[in-house]
Amino acid sequence: MNLKEIRADALKKLEELHAKSERDLAALKTYLFGKSGVLTGLMKGLKDLPPEQKPQAGKEINDLRVELQGLCEQKEQELHRLAIEQAINSQVLDLSIDKPDHAIGCVHPLTQVRRRLTEYFVGNGYIVYDSPEIETDYYNFQALNVPPDHPARDMQDTFFINDNILLRTQTSAGQIRLMEKFKPPLKMICPGRVFRNDDDSTHSPVFHQMEGLVIDKNVTLCDLKGALDGFAKFIFGEQTQIRFRPSYFPFTEPSVEVDVSCFNCHGSGCRVCKNTGWIELLGAGMVNRKVLAGCGIDPDEYHGFAFGIGLDRITMVLCAINDIKLMWENDVRFLHMFK
Amino acid sequence: MKLPLSWLKDYVDIGDITPQELSDKLVSIGFEVEEIIPPRSDVKGVVVGKVEEIVHHDNSDKLWICKVNIGSEVVQIVTGAQNVKKGDCVPVATVGADLPDGTHIKPAKLRGADSFGMMCGGSELGVDDSVIDGASYDGILILPNDSTIGEDILRTLGQDDTVLDVSITANRPDCQAIVNLAREISVLLDKPFKMPKLTYKTINIGTDKMPSVKIAEKDLCSYYIGRLIRDIKIEKSPKWMRDRLRMCGIRPINNLVDITNYVLLEIGQPLHAFDRKFIDGGINIRKGAAGERITALDGKEYGVNDVLLIADDKKPLAIAGIMGGEYTSIFPDTQTVFLEAARFERSNIRRTSRKIGLRSDSSARYEKGVDWHSVEIGSARALALIDELKCGKIVDAVVSDGIEPPKQNVIRTTKEEICALLGIDIDKKTIVSILKKQGIDVKSEGKTLVCTIPLVREDIDAYPDLAEDIMRFYGYDKIISTHSENTHQTRGYLSTHDENAQKVKDRLQSLGADEILNFSFVSPDAPDKLLLAANDEWRKVIPIMNPLSRDISVMRTQLLYGMLCSIARNCARKNDSMRFYELGKVFVADKLPLEKLPQERDVLCVGICNDGDFYTVKSIVGEIIGMFGAVEYSPSTAAYLHPKQALHVEIGGIVGDFGKLHPLVCENYDLPENVYVAHLDITDALTDALPTAKYTPLSKQHPIDRDLAVVVEKSVAVGDMLTAIRTVSPYIANVKLFDIYEGEQIADGYKSVAFSVRLQPTDAPFSDSKIKEIMDSIIEKTSSQFGAKLR
């Protein structure tokens, strides 16, 4: 065959190759370029030509070789692409179904809120202090300026283990333990379980508080408001306002109840805030001088403020949980709402 | 405390402020209003009418035609009632009136006679005899003859008043009295305050008829006044007094008893009236002797050993401050009354009341604290009312005993001290003026403010109390937010314990476990239900003296009870599968009954139901233990676990057991059979900071994988064998089990174990002979230690 015929033949063969003919393509390449391929044969035949024809003939053979090699390569790529396309088309899935193969565990909403609050206070220089859940009367009451038989004891129905040992009714007991152990300046939060002999639609006998305590020179009631204002904005959003109402706790003086503006309606009144525009959030105040003195801190030198946040209440408000019992039922469907 | 606005208005002019506005203002000075009880609104257009004429209806035997004067006019009303006669005052529902049952009164014709309205009975007005006499009678309510014609019936019935239910904080027992609350409101509204009338006429009969008064326990009864009232007329108290008592939740009884209750509400001073004829000799305030008993007004007998008593020379008359004895109350034939007003120490009343299990309005009031002043004012107010209502003749002599009146508390402070606590600047004039309005006498001595506190304000004992009283009226909205600019910087951080606990929870979350919370107290039946041995440590539970119920009456020593109850609750609700954990405290008593505080230990409990098998719980436990150190197990003897599917852990501060729940425990908790639990005490593991992981160089050499299958006896622990293989050469990077097979081609009592070994050269590739050497030593190890034969 002459060059023309070889070219025409090769082009025809290439044309005939179809998708699954990678092997045929390999054979064609061998036929053309292999050790005993036609082009190789022509190349070998050059030596028999007269010298003046050699350059011209050699160039023609070589040109054809380059051209055909290029075409083969193109064909190779095309075939490979077709093969992949075919594979892809065979891998059709029903994308509408699910086959979950791992589960994400849920952290209890109360823990989530507790972590968030902790994050805020730790970032503001508070340590986290753990205090016993079973306490003595001294730490839970007497050191907090509630002597035996004081009417303030009626504010909290107490579970007793014996006359002197009880289940703490407030995390405030942690204040005393901390002040006994460390010297001011002090900043701490004490989150944990508290217990009251109380069980109705709005109370659970076990619930959670987070006590806060700051003791230093020059601490003021305005500093308390600043600390709680920052906390309220962190939890409920930047536009949140807080307000103080006078109240009474034996271990603070002055004592205040703290309300936050309703995060849901921003004060115009809705179901969340019972149309008042405000949500009752926590109790706070300036640490009573007797409490400081009882812990060996000079009340003329140091002031302090303290607050007690109801974690369950904040969780319920934030997560729109309308029944405190849900917090303790551990229903999987409930838990999975808080992923 | 119930505060009827009409009563409040007696002592302070509140103008036209609405109940809601007043409530909001009360809240701003520290008195939360729990409820505004509005006047009744279900009766409209009913007035008092006087029957001027009554004649039989011409066309009916049972009907009467009345002419009734309703003030503005005289109307004709036809009635079927048979108890009305000329001159009676009756409630008249005029045309247009609305009644509680929804009836709307329209002009009507009854058998040809026009009727413009309806006379009402008590039930039609929604009242009974407790509100007004005759209201329970089936017929028309006949009102007292002196009723005001044309007056709205709600006023006549005393049901037109708004009552505020005010919550009084424990530091303000003085405000448990209407007058003192009125004084606060007068300051709040800047209106003058008027004291109730305290004057009365007396008669002189000499002092010899007065019983003497002697207090033996002056620390428990610091002041006692007795007065005598003669020629007592016991009758019903006037309607206005009965209405007010009723609005405050007290049942009217008779004039004298009602006056003592009225004074309790108004002045805050409990009083007790004794029939003089039962007092033998003098009054002694003393403690009861061993074996002494008294029958109280409630008809029950109480042992009064060591209890403070009001006694005469022969017998106890009353339990001081709590309740009178049965023979010493007021009887219809009582002629002379001995009226007691006293100050009893509050904590003793509280203690005694709880000890003997008897409470009363009086003891409730004393528990909160009655101030020194109220004793005299209360006594005087009662006498003034006795005089006003003409209940008897007041003897001028007074018998009393007690300690010297206490001195008024004096607090020396400065404007600067007060402002330094508050953080805002308030000028001195404002401070002085606010304090003075509250009855606190303030004198300036240079910079010092000398504040003399009235005896009624026993709550004020240091300058922060004054700061609070200033702020109450100055306004808490004036407190601004500052950010502790003048205090020290402090370092905030989580304790190692909390940080570790958080990491454990994070790990469990990534393992797909949901966190649950259970109460810290459990049922005392828990140990039995968990099949615990008689001497099991978990049986040493700490009981609560006053539990809410038996189910939650002992402190938990384990978390399994709560876990299993939670799983069972979910199963009962047809929730399919659970993978739960709780990280909580258990309470370990060194000794029972408890002498010192128990240990509070951190326990991790995992519970899996329909969500995996033994190996699931094992891998979860392995992941957790792996955070703290090497993983190692031994056989478990935990009674609550399946004896064939349970392991024990005791390493690096973690102690516990895990595995399949014992089938009997499943039955006890109403659980399906495939429940797996882990119970690990991780207290000690949480104390040390977890080490930061360190990098070890990755080899650049290709690993070599070789598979092996060996046959061993069925009883061989494959896990142990694989662990042993790992120790053969440091080049063994991993040993992976891929099949355990028993059956065809394997002899009875044997199993085939197939596993793949990955060898990891470090510096240079392994030669074939090196690979063979390692594989041979593996085969040698399995054969020598586990009797394995190459398959």
Using one digit for the tens of pLDDT, what is the confidence trace for B511-544?
A: 999 999 999 999 999 999 999 999 999 999 999 9
Q: Same structural domain for residues A157 and A258?
A: yes
- Interface probe, candidates A332, A336, A337, chain B, greatest B C-beta count within 10 A: A332
Report yes or no on B697 lying in a domain: no
Least confidently predicted of A253-257, B225-229, B485-489, B634-638: B485-489
Q: Same structural domain for residues B529 and B667?
A: yes
Q: Same structural domain for residues B682 and B771?
A: no
Neighboring chain B residues of A244 at a CB cutoff of 8 Å:
476-477, 479
Q: If you measure CA to CA, which chain A residue comes closest to B589? A: A134
pLDDT tens by residue, B656-665? 999 999 999 9
Which of the listed residues A59, A89, A119 is the one where a domain comes to its end? A89
pLDDT tens by residue, A211-256? 999 999 999 999 999 999 999 999 999 999 999 999 999 999 999 9
Q: What pTM was computed for the model?
A: 0.86
Report yes or no on B326 lying in a domain: yes
- Interface probe, candidates A153, A222, A234, chain B, greatest B C-beta count within 10 A: A222
Report yes or no on A304 lying in a domain: yes
pLDDT for the residue numbered A19: 60
Report yes or no on B198 lying in a domain: no
Work out the percent of chain A whose per-residue pLDDT is above 70.
99
- Interface probe, candidates B166, B419, B514, chain A, greatest A C-beta count within 10 A: B514
The band of B560, judged by pLDDT with boundaries at 50, 70 and 90, is very high
Q: Same structural domain for residues A70 and A113?
A: no
- B514:A335 CB<8 A: yes
Q: Same structural domain for residues B180 and B59?
A: no
Q: Same structural domain for residues A270 and A333?
A: yes
Q: Same structural domain for residues B275 and B304?
A: yes
Report yes or no on B385 lying in a domain: yes
Report yes or no on B486 lying in a domain: no
- A226:B481 CB<8 A: yes
pLDDT tens by residue, A6-33? 888 888 888 887 766 778 888 888 888 8
Q: If you measure CA to CA, which chain B residue comes closest to A104? A: B512
Mean pLDDT along residues B102-111: 90
CATH code for position B395 = 3.50.40.10
CATH code for position B17 = 3.30.56.10
Least Cα separation, residue A331 to chain B (angstroms): 6
pLDDT tens by residue, B161-189? 899 999 999 899 999 999 999 999 999 99
- Interface probe, candidates A169, A188, A330, chain B, greatest B C-beta count within 10 A: A330
Nearest to A107 among B421, B494, B505 (CB): B505
Least Cα separation, residue B330 to chain A (angstroms): 31
Q: Is the pLDDT of residue B500 over 80?
A: yes
CATH code for position B531 = 3.30.930.10
Q: Same structural domain for residues A69 and A123?
A: no
Whether B328 and chain A come into contact, CB under 8 Å, resolves to no
Which of the listed residues B402, B420, B438 is the one where a domain comes to its end? B402
Q: Are the C-beta atoms of B456 and B174 separated by less than 8 Å?
A: yes
Report yes or no on A10 lying in a domain: yes
* Alpha carbon of residue B750 to chain centroid: 67
- B169:A247 CB<8 A: yes
CA–CA gap between residue B617 and residue B631 (Å, rounded): 14
Whether B743 and chain A come into contact, CB under 8 Å, resolves to no
Which of the listed residues A32, A59, A89 is the one where a domain comes to its end? A89
Give residue for tokens 């058998």. Answer: B111
pLDDT for the residue numbered A20: 64
Neighboring chain A residues of B597 at a CB cutoff of 8 Å:
132, 134-136, 165
Tokens of A38: 């036609």
Report yes or no on A96 lying in a domain: no
Q: Same structural domain for residues B381 and B420?
A: no
Residues 421-440 of B with CB under 8 A from A: 421-424
Neighboring chain A residues of B23 at a CB cutoff of 8 Å:
none
3-state secondary structure B506-572: HHHHHCCCEECCCCCEECCCHHHHCCCCCCCHHHCCCECCCCCCHHHCEECCCCHHHHHHHHHHHHH
Mean pLDDT along residues B372-378: 92
Residues in chain A: 339
DSSP one-letter code for B318: E
Side chain identity, residue B297: L
Q: Same structural domain for residues A153 and A74?
A: no
Report yes or no on A248 lying in a domain: yes
Neighboring chain B residues of A330 at a CB cutoff of 8 Å:
516-518, 566, 569-570, 580
- B508:A214 CB<8 A: no
CATH code for position B103 = 2.40.50.140
Neighboring chain A residues of B169 at a CB cutoff of 8 Å:
247-248
Q: If you measure CA to CA, which chain A residue comes closest to B521? A: A206
Domain span holding position B145: 44-156
Report yes or no on B488 lying in a domain: no
- B346:A151 CB<8 A: yes
> Smallest Cα–Cα separation from B601: which of B488, B486, B534, B680?
B680
Least Cα separation, residue A145 to chain B (angstroms): 12
CA–CA gap between residue B626 and residue B791 (Å, rounded): 34
Mean pLDDT along residues B275-291: 93
Nearest to B170 among A128, A155, A288 (CB): A155
pLDDT for the residue numbered B620: 96
Q: Same structural domain for residues A113 and A163?
A: yes
Report yes or no on A95 lying in a domain: no
Neighboring chain A residues of B542 at a CB cutoff of 8 Å:
134, 161
Q: Is the pLDDT of residue B436 over 90?
A: yes
- Interface probe, candidates A136, A149, A324, chain B, greatest B C-beta count within 10 A: A149
Report yes or no on B629 lying in a domain: yes
Q: If you measure CA to CA, which chain B residue comes closest to A253? A: B464
Least Cα separation, residue B542 to chain A (angstroms): 7
Q: Same structural domain for residues B219 and B299?
A: yes
CA–CA gap between residue A102 and residue B704 (Å, rounded): 31
Q: Same structural domain for residues A300 and A204?
A: yes
Report yes or no on A100 lying in a domain: no
Q: How many domains does chain A have?
A: 2
| Backbone phi and psi for residue B217, each to the nearest 5 degrees, phi listed first | -120, 80
Nearest to B593 among A129, A162, A331 (CB): A162
Neighboring chain B residues of A302 at a CB cutoff of 8 Å:
none
- A254:B467 CB<8 A: yes
Least Cα separation, residue A102 to chain B (angstroms): 7
Q: If you measure CA to CA, which chain A residue comes closest to B30? A: A246
Q: Same structural domain for residues B506 and B642?
A: yes
pLDDT for the residue numbered A65: 87
- B509:A218 CB<8 A: no
Q: Same structural domain for residues A68 and A121?
A: no
Q: Same structural domain for residues A116 and A257?
A: yes
Whether B572 and chain A come into contact, CB under 8 Å, resolves to no
pLDDT for the residue numbered B716: 94
Report yes or no on B421 lying in a domain: yes
Report yes or no on A102 lying in a domain: no
- Interface probe, candidates B476, B494, B521, B601, chain A, greatest A C-beta count within 10 A: B476
Q: Same structural domain for residues B169 and B72?
A: no
The band of A138, judged by pLDDT with boundaries at 50, 70 and 90, is very high
- A197:B579 CB<8 A: no
Q: Same structural domain for residues A297 and A333?
A: yes
Q: Same structural domain for residues B257 and B361?
A: yes
Q: Give me chain B's average pLDDT, please.
A: 93
Which of the listed residues B385, B402, B419 is the one where a domain comes to its end? B402
Q: Same structural domain for residues A11 and A148?
A: no
Half-sphere CA count of B256, side-chain side, radius 13 A: 28
Mean pLDDT along residues B459-483: 95
- A248:B169 CB<8 A: yes
Contacts 24+ apart (CB under 8 A), B100-103: B100/B42, B100/B43, B100/B124, B100/B125, B100/B126
Tokens of A214: 């700051």
Q: Same structural domain for residues B544 and B678?
A: yes
pLDDT tens by residue, B315-366? 999 999 999 998 777 888 889 999 999 999 999 999 999 899 999 999 999 9
Domain span holding position A19: 3-89
Whether B465 and chain A come into contact, CB under 8 Å, resolves to yes
CATH code for position A321 = 3.30.930.10
Whether B20 and chain A come into contact, CB under 8 Å, resolves to no
The band of A271, judged by pLDDT with boundaries at 50, 70 and 90, is confident
pLDDT tens by residue, B438-452? 999 999 999 999 999
DSSP one-letter code for B195: P
Element (H, E) at B350: helix B346-356
Report yes or no on A251 lying in a domain: yes
Half-sphere CA count of B566, side-chain side, radius 13 A: 35
Q: Same structural domain for residues B244 and B371?
A: yes
Q: If you measure CA to CA, which chain B residue comes closest to A221? A: B422
Which of the listed residues B131, B156, B181 is the one where a domain comes to its end? B156
pLDDT for the residue numbered B155: 87
Q: Same structural domain for residues A35 and A81?
A: yes
Least Cα separation, residue A75 to chain B (angstroms): 36
Whether B505 and chain A come into contact, CB under 8 Å, resolves to yes
Element (H, E) at B165: strand B163-167
Whether B5 and chain A come into contact, CB under 8 Å, resolves to no
Whether B215 and chain A come into contact, CB under 8 Å, resolves to no
Q: How many domains does chain B have?
A: 6
- B471:A254 CB<8 A: yes
Q: Are the C-beta atoms of B464 and A221 separated by less than 8 Å?
A: no
b (16+ CB within 10 A) / e for B34-53: eeebeebeebbbbbbbbbee
Q: Same structural domain for residues B515 and B561?
A: yes
CA–CA gap between residue B491 and residue B493 (Å, rounded): 7
Neighboring chain A residues of B482 at a CB cutoff of 8 Å:
220, 222-223, 225-226
- B28:A245 CB<8 A: yes
